[in-house]
Amino acid sequence: MMYKENKILKEFIYSLTILILSLISTTCYASMEILNVRHWAAPDHTRIVLDVDSVPVYEVKESENFLVLNFRESSVHKSISPEVFIDKPGIKKIVFHHTAEDVVEIEFFLDKRQKIEVFKLKKFQDKPDRVVVDIILEQISKEEKTIGRLPTLKQKKIIVIDPGHGGEDPGAIGKNGTYEKNIVLSIGREIKKSINKIPGYRAVLTRDGDYYVSFKKRLQKAKDLGASLFISVHADAARNRSAKGSSVYCLSTGAASNEAARLLARNENLSDILGGVPDSEGNNESNQIIMNMFQTNTINLSKIYAGILMKYLDVVNCLKYKSVQEAPFRVLKLPDIPAVLVETAYISNPEEERLLKKPKFQKTLAASITSSVAEYLSGTAAASKSNEVITNYYKVKRGDTLFSLARLFNTKVGILLELNNMKPEDPLYIDQRIIVPANKDEDNEKITDNVPDKKDNSSDRKKAYRIYTVKKGDTLFFLAKDNSTTVQELLKINNMKSNDPLLYGQKIKLPQKAGNI
């Protein structure tokens, strides 16, 4: 009997020992490990990122030249050196110490700086949990200082070039390991050099290195500089590696053009999460307010520029779509600056991946984008001498746009802008009085051309026209059909080209219907 009791007791002790060892093992396994240290330097901050294998718990201590992070129940991966030299603006090095009770103490040896931000980022896709330390420098680039010193009257037209992704966010990755963030930065630099060769123009990059810039900062830079145009540069990707071609996107305030556009916008809009933006900055979007502010005129201007850009891209590379696409891209939410997103080519396509890496293709692509910018913004330059134009006043009506008024008064948008000291993004208000050329050949409701053109046949003389306001869904083809005429005739009487857009609210001439003359 005693033997059996001793045996049971031994088995109990053995089981208890196994349980205790198991618990100890589990506790050790559950401790957090610091896996890696990475860093980037941007013009206004230096970022240090600690990759960790579980949700981090830490304490922060800060002094004049030091920052200390204490991680309890933690360890450091053997691949990390006890002393890591950063030698970037604001920070010299970081040192790892192991103290009692499995505490890892990390010292940051700081240089001159203004503010430090420490925050956590949750595990997302292939990114582990992270602790981010930003040393804020608050430095303005020499380029922006130079622009800011320019006299208002002589200030150049500013075009903001936005190379997508950067830093923590690599963007799409090609089959051969090409990173989108590197390709679009190279292309962006080429675009900048090309645009800066045009007198009166200045291109500015949202980033000029391998670091991430939040959507908010990208857009704010364009606003602060009073940009005339914002171009976000990307390289597309798809699971189908045969997909290829360039495409251009504008902001949609509603649904996307198609499912592919919706998915593209969804992926691009994740950049702030991948790039590492603290909640205080990334969640400060106020979508509804921004969209209420967003002017239809600005969206129309964006679409007009996008159409011009597509024309030039078509010479350099095949087009994925025959028309401008729309989707709710966060990086395009600028209330008063025309903005487009251009997908230069498919980095997921092996052939186009090789093409994107070639300096010659990058320069050709940059030249085509520069040509589109010059054509679009030439309408805002002093295209003619305004003091030689006989002028009159016009009261703006519902549906009027600068483009429809330019056609109505047989002039150019640039002349209207110059006469009224306006920018292309300035809105028109109902009953607003604006200056227009006095060579108008029609009244506001009805136009009758009684002066025969020497080239016209007698049957074309004394034609009567009426003013029509373009509605949603209208096309020249259907308008010609409904008014018993041809598209060519509509183009002729409205002084339009076949590739000119038909804008919602635009006023055009239509033949007067029988019985209403």
pLDDT at 178: 93
Query: DSSP secondary-structure letter at 432?
Result: -
CATH 3.40.630.40 applies to domain 142-379 = yes
pLDDT at 446: 34
Helix axis angle, 296-316 to 359-377, nearest 10°: 140
Give the CB-side neighbour count of residue 37, counting CA atoms within 13 A.
19
CA distance 166 to 40: 10
Q: How confident is the model at residue 284 (pLDDT cuts 50, 70, 90)?
A: very low
Q: Which residues pair with 248 in a beta bridge?
A: 342
For 377-394, the pLDDT digits (tens) are 875 433 333 334 456 678
pLDDT at 235: 92
CATH architecture of 386-511: Roll (3.10)
CA distance 5 to 7: 5
pLDDT at 302: 86
CA distance 105 to 91: 17
Share of the chain above pLDDT 90, in %: 17
pLDDT at 168: 85
For 108-144, the pLDDT digits (tens) are 998 876 688 888 888 877 788 888 888 888 665 555 5
Residues 470, 508: contact at Cβ < 8 Å? yes
Higher pLDDT, 119 or 402: 119
- Per-range mean pLDDT, top range of 155-159, 251-255, 304-308: 304-308
Higher pLDDT, 483 or 35: 35
- Residues in Cβ contact with 401 at an 8 Å cutoff, skipping those fewer than 6 apart: 297, 300, 428, 503, 505, 506
91-100, 229-238, 359-368, 380-389: which has the minimum mean pLDDT?
A: 380-389
Asked if the model's pLDDT at residue 431 lies above 90, the reply is: no
- Please compute Rg for the chain using Cα positions: 31
Asked if the model's pLDDT at residue 292 lies above 70, the reply is: no
For domain 31-136, give its CATH number from 2.70.70.10, 3.40.50.720, 3.30.365.10, 2.60.40.3500: 2.60.40.3500
What is the largest distance, in Å, between two alpha-carbon atoms of the chain? 131
- Residues in Cβ contact with 272 at an 8 Å cutoff, skipping those fewer than 6 apart: 214, 215, 282, 330
93-97, 335-339, 460-464: which has the minimum mean pLDDT?
A: 460-464
Residues 212, 321: contact at Cβ < 8 Å? no
The arithmetic mean of pLDDT across residues 495-508, rounded, is: 71
pLDDT at 149: 47
- Per-range mean pLDDT, top range of 13-17, 133-137, 473-477: 133-137
Residues 392, 437: contact at Cβ < 8 Å? yes
SS3 for 209-269 is: CCCCCCHHHHHHHHHHCCCCEEEEEEEECCCCCCCCCEEEEEECCCCCCCHHHHHHHHHHC
Higher pLDDT, 209 or 507: 209
Q: How confident is the model at residue 75 (pLDDT cuts 50, 70, 90)?
A: confident
Asked if the model's pLDDT at residue 415 lies above 60, the reply is: yes
Q: How confident is the model at residue 11 (pLDDT cuts 50, 70, 90)?
A: low
* Structural domain spans, the chain: 31-136, 142-379, 386-511
- What mean pLDDT is reported for the chain? 76
The DSSP code sequence of 6-37 is: HHHHHHHHHHHHHHHHHHHHHHHHHSEEEEEE
pLDDT at 346: 92
Higher pLDDT, 318 or 513: 318
Asked if the model's pLDDT at residue 291 lies above 80, the reply is: no
